[in-house]
Amino acid sequence: MKKYGILNRDIAAVLARLGHTDTIVIADCGLPIPESVRCIDLSLKQGVPSFLDVLSEVLDDMVVEGAVCATEIETKNSELHAYISSLGIPTKMVPHETFKEQTKHAKVIIRTGENKPYANIILRAGVIF
């Protein structure tokens, strides 16, 4: 058994296989999941696990060079937007419809139980060197 890091074997395996510029999505419980993209569904009930809990653990284990969020988060979930902005990750803002289109290219979507609006992020893998 692992001693540190993400214990979920599916998430750990995906992160271990990522290459430079590959993307993953951390999503709230309402984001539509494209048929062609693998979904790791962690949702237990509304709010559990939270978007922030999952994001925090993934960021501890993944080199991230950039992110994408929906523009709507700025007004519909300003507290989360402020938190994401404070992370220091270059983040591109796009309309929600464009965001949903971009999820079709992700290696995986990790679905949380989050039930606050626009709590979704696309993370682009960086490199450790």
Catalytic sites, residue numbers: 20
- State how far the Cα of 105 lies from the Cα of 91, in Å rounded to an integer: 17
Helix axes 78-86, 51-61, angle to 10 degrees: 10
Phi, psi for 83 (deg, rounded to 5): -65, -50
- State how far the Cα of 64 lies from the Cα of 22, in Å rounded to an integer: 10
- State how far the Cα of 100 lies from the Cα of 63, in Å rounded to an integer: 23
